Structure 1
Amino acid sequence: MLNSYRSGICALAVATSFIAGAAQAESHVVLIMEGGYFPAVTYVSAGDEVIFRNESGATHEMGGPEDVWSSGPIGMDGTYHLSLSEETPLVFTGVSGGIEMQGEVSYDTPPLSE
């Protein structure tokens, strides 16, 4: 009886750890560079967070289409945190030195993960 109880507790602990691990959000860093974003495409899951880090040497502002979201001015070496949901647009844009820059988040499987 005691062994059966221990087995049940062990199985419950293992199942709980798998569920908790699957539900954990990840953070992804996108560098704001002079002339572009790196990486240009960031592979994410709903609930993840994208951290934009400005390494362009100038203040930068970016946002989603139709101003769905806007970072406001991000100073040099500053960051902006964006929490993703199903409604977050997949494309973001900004302007650097008069040149429009574009980046993207994708819910697809990353090409090198297989």
Structure 2
Amino acid sequence: MLLKSALPVALLLFGSVSFTAVQVRADEHIVMILQSAYFPDLISVEMGDTVRFVNASGSKHTVGSSEGIWSTDMIADGAEVTLEIRQAMAGRFHGWTNSLIEGRLDLIRAPLPD
């Protein structure tokens, strides 16, 4: 008997709860590895975005954070590597071609949903 009376109350409570879907969108950013620079060398990213490093430097190349937190494997000339942005990736990154080249990932906060 108690179960029969609890069911309409549970349905009423469940029916009064609204769920709001938040649209999630990740962007892809492309960074060209050139012989003497990254292009662009400043990238503003959000958590979950991806950065695709495309090697057009004429030689093999790795990209890594200046703090030593992350690094790509060796990227052959003409090849590319895609990384998903995590919190620890923000800051300066660098690599070597004929000389040291540097760039920066700035982590921006996504706006809060209304």
Match of 1:41 in 2: 42
How far has the Cα of 1:108 moved from its partner?
4.6
Match of 1:71 in 2: 72
Superposed counterparts of 1:1-114, under 5 Å: 16=21, 19-20=22-23, 23-97=24-98, 99-108=99-108
Give the whole-Å Cα distance in 2 for the aligned partners of 1:60 and 1:87.
21
Q: Which runs of 4 or more aligned residues in structure 1 lie more than 3 Å from their structure 2 counterparts after TM superposition?
A: none
**Residues 66-108 of structure 1: CA deviation (Å, up to 9, x unaligned):** 42111121001111111111222321110111x1110011135
How far has the Cα of 1:47 moved from its partner?
1.2
Give the whole-Å Cα distance in 2 for the aligned partners of 1:94 and 1:61.
6
Greater C-alpha Rg:
2
Q: Which runs of 5+ in 1 are unaligned?
A: 1-11, 110-114
Give the whole-Å Cα distance in 2 for the aligned partners of 1:41 and 1:89.
11
Structure number with the higher helix fraction is 1
Assess if the C-alpha contact under 8 Å between 1:61 and 1:95 holds in 2: yes
Aligned pair count? 91
What letter is aligned with 2:48? Answer: G
TM-score by length of 1: 0.71
Give the whole-Å Cα distance in 2 for the aligned partners of 1:64 and 1:42.
14
